[in-house]
Amino acid sequence: MLKLAAAFSTLAAFAPFVASQSAVWGQCGGIGWSGASTCASGSVCTYSNAYYSRRCTLTVGTGSGGGGTAPSSTVSSPSPTGSGGLPVGTSTSKLNTVAKAAGKTYFGTATDNSELTDAAYTAILDDNTEFGQISPANSWKWDATEPSQGDFTFTQGDAILSLAKGNGQLLRGHNCVWYNQLPSWVNSLSGSALSSAMVNHCTTLLTHYKGDTYSFDIVNEPFNDDGTWRTDVFYNSLGTSYVNTVLTAARTADPSTKLYINEYNLEYPSGKSDSMLSLVQSLQAADVPLDGIGFQGHLIVGQVPTTFQSQMEEFTALGLEVAITELDIRMTLPATAALYEQQKTDYQNVVAACNAIEKCVGITIWDFTDKYSWVPSTFPGSGAALPWDSNLVKKPAFDGIVAGFA
């Protein structure tokens, strides 16, 4: 009721203009339309299709260029169809607000330095009622922070820190030890030289960001899908003990952050999830510090595992917290209305799975707009994986997220 009241009071603010101008989201053109063709102050008439596609949309911020973009704070559209005839999200709720109301610690997004010059993008990113948590998509990784041995650079990483601090957003550190985006000098090491370099890297990274993060992905993607260990330089040279070593070093470097192992394809029972459970049990038996498991959640529309919740519960039963750390749900392009609706259902189901588990502390989407998604370059022909489209217009998936927290 409160949300409805807020929506109506926003509409009411534009009521004096209705006689001569169309209200925000009102029709302002199209075949057969004989009503007003100008819009209320602060909105522009935007073409969507020949019949009912001219709607008065709010302009974003103070500048121009808002045409066609539905800002996240606007009222619900009476027309659920956006450009290209695809449905749009209409919820006026804010994602972090609804997540916290549901008892979660945050709803967040990844972001990357190169995106921070996009003012329309940062206008959404900076809203801590939408995103209460930020993950650095790339600039805290090993290749970005220690490109040559002992030569640490945190300029890009610190830009993400400043952004989150300035916005009052939590940070998830990402990441410390990963086979990918690893500078080549690391691959040439072995034995104690490798172990020292790994401990030094993680200690320096966590010390630099000491007290700044809610949680930190210390080990990323240690297993193959069949449950065998990934044969990267760490496993090949140090065996499984590299996990123990680096978690212990991380706890010493920053006792205040929650230490995570982060992995994909844990959402259904498999050799990988079995191996992760065994690893957790062996770490716990050896008193190695570990606080959480990150379920990355890189999923496919129409193929979201129904086992997501029970898989997370396997780990919370061991006393750990869990988080969905890199959620996106991709589709085969081109996007259709049916795929958008299925994606909405899929997002709702994933969020509901976390919502049902007290120790699922939060959800992070892997950036929030299709404009900056990693998916199309990695899976050619797939995309549209995020809740905002590439024009920063909310998709039905947004409404699915809100519904999942209900």
Q: How far is the CB of 215 from ligand 9MR (least distance, A)?
A: 15
String of contacts with ligand 9MR for each residue 261-300, x by CB under 6 A: -----------------------------------x----
* Cβ nearer to ligand 9MR, comparing 176 with 279: 176
Pair type for strands 43-46 and 258-263: unpaired
Alpha carbon dihedral 373, 304, 109, 74, in 10-degree steps, equals: 90
74 vs 138, beta carbon nearer ligand 9MR? 138
Binding mask 53-72 toward ligand 9MR (x if CB under 6 A, else -) reads --------------------
Q: Nearer to ligand 9MR by C-beta: 138 or 270? A: 138
290, 261 in Cβ contact below 8 A? yes
Q: Which residues of 348-362 are buried (b: 16+ CB within 10 A; e: fewer)?
A: bbbbbbbbebebbbb
CB 384 within 8 A of CB 339: yes
Q: How far is the CB of 297 from ligand 9MR (least distance, A)?
A: 10
What is the helix (H) or strand (E) element at residue 31, kind and residue range? none
DSSP state of 81: B
Contact between 108 and 129 under an 8 Å Cβ cutoff? The reply is no
When the beta carbons of 56 and 134 are compared against ligand 9MR, the nearer one is 134
> How far is the C-alpha of 290 from the C-alpha of 87, rounded, in Å?
43
Q: Shortest gap between Cβ of 375 and ligand 9MR (angstroms)?
A: 8
Contact assessment for residue 75 and residue 399, using Cβ atoms and an 8 Å cutoff: no
> 175: phi > 0 → left, psi -120 to 50 → alpha, else beta; which?
beta
Q: How far is the CB of 101 from ligand 9MR (least distance, A)?
A: 29
Cα separation of 127 and 125, whole Å?
6
Q: For ligand 9MR, what does the binding mask look like between residues 14 and 53, x meaning CB under 6 A?
A: ----------------------------------------
Euclidean distance between CA atoms 18 and 38, whole angstroms: 10
Which residues does 13 contact at the CB level (< 8 Å), separation at least 6? Answer: none
What part of residues 199-258 is at the interface with ligand 9MR (CB under 6 A)?
220
- Name the residue number minimizing CB distance to ligand 9MR: 374
326 binds ligand 9MR (CB under 6 A): yes
Judged by CB under 6 A, the residue of 153, 181, 228, 240 near ligand 9MR is 181
Q: How far is the CB of 175 from ligand 9MR (least distance, A)?
A: 7
**Alpha carbon distance 296, 178 (integer Å):** 14
State the Cα–Cα distance between residues 374 and 365, nearest whole angstrom: 12
Binding-site size, ligand 9MR (CB under 6 A): 8
Selected from 209, 235, 374, 388, the binder of ligand 9MR by CB under 6 A is 374
Complex with ligand 9MR: residue 180 or 241, whichever CB lies closer: 180
Task: Report, in Å, the least distance between residue 153 CB and ligand 9MR.
Answer: 18
CB of 216 to ligand 9MR, least distance (A): 13
Helix, strand, coil fractions of the chain, as percent rounded to 5: 35, 20, 45
Chain centre distance of CA 385: 11
In the complex, what is the shortest distance from the CB of residue 373 to ligand 9MR, in angstroms, rounded to a whole number? 8
What is d(CA 125, CA 116) in angstroms, rounded to the nearest whole number? 9
Residues taking part in catalysis: 221, 326
Q: Per CB under 6 A, which of residues 131..170 are in contact with ligand 9MR?
A: 137-138
Whichever of 213 and 220 has its CB closer to ligand 9MR, that residue is 220
Query: Quick one: 148 or 181, whose CB is closer to ligand 9MR?
Result: 181
Query: Between β-strands 106-111 and 360-365, what pairing exists: parallel, antiparallel or unpaired?
Result: parallel
Strand (E) or helix (H) holding 225 = none
76 or 138: whose CB is closer to ligand 9MR? 138
Binding site for ligand 9MR (CB under 6 A): 137-138, 180-181, 220, 296, 326, 374
